[in-house]
Structure 1
Amino acid sequence: MKFTDGFWLMRDGVEASYATEVRDVRVDADRFTAFAAAQRIERRGDTLNSPLLTVDCFTPAEGVIGVRVTHHAGKRRLGPDFLLPGEDAGTGAVRRDGTRVELSSGPLSVCLDEAAPWQLSFRDADGREVTSSGRKGTAFFHTGDGAHHMAAQLSLGVGEQVYGLGERFTPFVRNGQVVDMWQADGGTSSEQAYKNVPFSLHVSPAGAYGVFVAHPGRVSYEIGSESVGQMQFSVEDQSVEYYVVAGPTPKDVLRRYTALTGRPALPPAWSFGLWLTTSFTTQYDEETVTSFVDGMAERDIPLSVFHFDCFWMREYQWSDFEWDPAVFPDPEGMLARLKERGLRVSVWINPYIAQKSALFEEAAAQGYLVKRANGDIWQWDLWQAGMALVDFTNPEACAWFRAKLKVLLDQGVDCFKTDFGERIPTDVVWHDGSDPERMHNYYTHLYNQVVFDLLEKERGRGESVLFARSATAGGQQFPVHWGGDCFSSFGAMAESLRGGLSLSLSGFGFWSHDIGGFEGTPDAAVFKRWLAFGLLSSHSRLHGSSSYRVPWEFGDEAVNVARSFTRLKHRLMPYLYGAAAEAHTTGVPLMRPMLLDFPDDPTARALDRQYMLGPDLLVAPVFSADGDVEFYVPEGTWTHLLTGERVEGPAWRRERHGFDSLPLYVRPGAVLPMGADASRPDGDWLTGLTLLATPDAQDVTVTVPDLHGGVAATYRVVRDGARGEATVAEGHGGGEVTVRNL
Structure 2
Amino acid sequence: MNIVKQENGFTVLHKDRTVFTHSLDKPAIFLGSGQGTFDMYRGNFDIKDYVESRLPMRAFRIDEEGDKTSITLGVEGEDYLTLTIYETEEGRLIVDFNSLKDEVNRFWMRVHATPEEKVYGCGEQLTYFNLRGKNFPLWTSEPGVGRNKNNYVTWLADTKDKAGGDYYNTNYPQPTFVSNDKYFCHLQTTAYADFDFRHDDFHELQAWNIPDYLLFDREDSFTALVGNISNVFGTQPELPDWVLDGVILGVQGGTDITLEKIERARKAGVKVAGVWNQDWQGIKMTSFGKRLHWNWEWSPELYPGLDTKIHELKEDGVRFLGYINPYVLEGQSLYKIAKEKGYLATKADGGDYLVDFGEFYCGVVDFTNDEACEWYKGVIKENLIGFGLDGWMADFSEYLPTDCTLSNGRSAELEHNDWPRRWAKINHEAIEECGKIDDILFFMRAGGTGFQRYCHVLWAGDQCVDWCIEDGLASVIPGALSAGLMGNGIHHSDVGGYTTLHGMKRTKELMMRWIDFCAFTPMMRSHEGNRPGDNHQFDTDDETLFHLGRMSRVFASMKPYLKAAIAENTEAGIPVMRPLFMHYEQDETAYDIQFQYLLGRDVIVAPVYNKEETEWKLYLPEDDWVHAWSGQAFKGGWVTVDAPLGEPPVFYRKSSEYADLFAALPQVAKA
Normalising to structure 2: TM-score of the pair?
0.82
Please say if residues 512 and 534 of structure 1, whose CA atoms lie closer than 8 Å, have aligned partners that are also in contact. Answer: yes
Match of 2:487 in 1: 507
Match of 1:427 in 2: 403
Please say if residues 115 and 200 of structure 2, whose CA atoms lie closer than 8 Å, have aligned partners that are also in contact. Answer: no
CA 1:182–1:13: 2 relative to 1, 3 Å: closer
Q: Does 1:470 align with 2:446?
A: yes
- Find the partner of 1:398 among 373, 381, 389: 373
CA 1:13–1:163: 2 relative to 1, 3 Å: closer
- Comparing 637-646 with 290-299, greater Cα deviation is found at 637-646
Match of 2:111, SS state, is strand
Partner amino acid for 2:73?
A
- Find the partner of 1:461 among 437, 443, 458: 437
Partner amino acid for 1:593?
P
User: What is the CA deviation profile of residues 96-130 of structure 1, one whole-angstrom value per residue up to 9, with x for unaligned ones?
Assistant: xxxxxxxxxxxxxxxxxxxxxxxxxxxxxxxxxxx
Query: Aligned equivalents of 1:482 and 1:221: distance in 2?
Result: 24
Q: Does 1:181 align with 2:150?
A: no
- Find the partner of 1:208 among 166, 179, 182: 182
Match of 1:108 in 2: none
Partner amino acid for 2:461?
G
Match of 1:616 in 2: 602
Please say if residues 280 and 303 of structure 2, whose CA atoms lie closer than 8 Å, have aligned partners that are also in contact. Answer: no
Aligned residues: 582
Greater CA radius of gyration, 1 or 2?
Answer: 1
Please say if residues 68 and 242 of structure 1, whose CA atoms lie closer than 8 Å, have aligned partners that are also in contact. Answer: yes
Partner amino acid for 2:85?
C
Match of 1:34 in 2: 71
Query: Aligned equivalents of 2:294 and 2:52: distance in 1?
Result: 46
Q: Does 1:534 align with 2:518?
A: yes
Please say if residues 182 and 221 of structure 2, whose CA atoms lie closer than 8 Å, have aligned partners that are also in contact. Answer: yes
CA 1:149–1:266: 2 relative to 1, 3 Å: same
Query: Aligned equivalents of 2:51 and 2:517: distance in 1?
Result: 50
1:462, CA displacement in angstroms?
2.4
Please say if residues 427 and 436 of structure 1, whose CA atoms lie closer than 8 Å, have aligned partners that are also in contact. Answer: yes
Please say if residues 201 and 250 of structure 1, whose CA atoms lie closer than 8 Å, have aligned partners that are also in contact. Answer: no
1:490, CA displacement in angstroms?
2.6
CA 1:187–1:303: 2 relative to 1, 3 Å: farther
Match of 1:414 in 2: 390
CA 1:472–1:61: 2 relative to 1, 3 Å: farther
Please say if residues 653 and 659 of structure 2, whose CA atoms lie closer than 8 Å, have aligned partners that are also in contact. Answer: no
Please say if residues 616 and 641 of structure 2, whose CA atoms lie closer than 8 Å, have aligned partners that are also in contact. Answer: yes
| Counterparts of residues 373-392 of structure 1 (less than 5 Å) | 373-383=348-358, 385-392=360-367
1:61, CA displacement in angstroms?
5.0
User: What is the CA deviation profile of residues 164-219 of structure 1, one whole-angstrom value per residue up to 9, with x for unaligned ones?
Assistant: 1011122221112121111111246322110111110111xxx3101111102211
Match of 1:665 in 2: 651
- Find the partner of 1:562 among 521, 541, 548: 548
CA 1:691–1:606: 2 relative to 1, 3 Å: closer
Match of 2:79 in 1: 51
User: What is the CA deviation profile of residues 596-652 of structure 1, one whole-angstrom value per residue up to 9, with x for unaligned ones?
Assistant: 121221100011111000000011111232322111011122112232110121x10
Bigger RCO of structures 1 and 2 (CA < 8 A, at least 6 apart)? 2
Query: Aligned equivalents of 2:51 and 2:248: distance in 1?
Result: 55
| Counterparts of residues 81-230 of structure 1 (less than 5 Å) | 148-187=105-144, 189-190=146-147, 191-203=168-180, 207-224=181-198, 227-230=199-202
Identical positions, percent = 22
Match of 2:497 in 1: 517
Match of 1:231 in 2: 203
Please say if residues 282 and 302 of structure 2, whose CA atoms lie closer than 8 Å, have aligned partners that are also in contact. Answer: no
CA 1:414–1:12: 2 relative to 1, 3 Å: closer
Please say if residues 528 and 537 of structure 2, whose CA atoms lie closer than 8 Å, have aligned partners that are also in contact. Answer: no
CA 1:340–1:232: 2 relative to 1, 3 Å: same
Query: Aligned equivalents of 2:456 and 2:132: distance in 1?
Result: 29
CA 1:37–1:444: 2 relative to 1, 3 Å: closer
1:381, CA displacement in angstroms?
2.9
Query: Aligned equivalents of 1:422 and 1:310: distance in 2?
Result: 21
Match of 1:308 in 2: 277
Please say if residues 79 and 100 of structure 2, whose CA atoms lie closer than 8 Å, have aligned partners that are also in contact. Answer: no
Match of 1:326 in 2: 301
Q: Does 1:444 align with 2:420?
A: yes
- Find the partner of 1:582 among 552, 556, 568: 568
Please say if residues 628 and 662 of structure 2, whose CA atoms lie closer than 8 Å, have aligned partners that are also in contact. Answer: no
1:555, CA displacement in angstroms?
3.6
Query: Aligned equivalents of 1:480 and 1:13: distance in 2?
Result: 39
Partner amino acid for 1:401?
Y
User: What is the CA deviation profile of residues 560-614 of structure 1, one whole-angstrom value per residue up to 9, with x for unaligned ones?
Assistant: 3312221122221111111111000111100111121212211000111110000
- Find the partner of 2:227 among 248, 255, 259: 255
CA 1:264–1:278: 2 relative to 1, 3 Å: closer
Query: Aligned equivalents of 1:537 and 1:354: distance in 2?
Result: 35
Query: Aligned equivalents of 1:691 and 1:656: distance in 2?
Result: 18
- Find the partner of 2:239 among 267, 292, 295: 267
Please say if residues 18 and 38 of structure 1, whose CA atoms lie closer than 8 Å, have aligned partners that are also in contact. Answer: yes
Match of 1:413, SS state, is coil
Normalising to structure 1: TM-score of the pair?
0.74
Partner amino acid for 1:468?
M
Partner amino acid for 1:653?
V
The RMSD of aligned alpha carbons is 2.6
Match of 2:265 in 1: 296
CA 1:350–1:250: 2 relative to 1, 3 Å: same
Query: Aligned equivalents of 1:350 and 1:384: distance in 2?
Result: 17
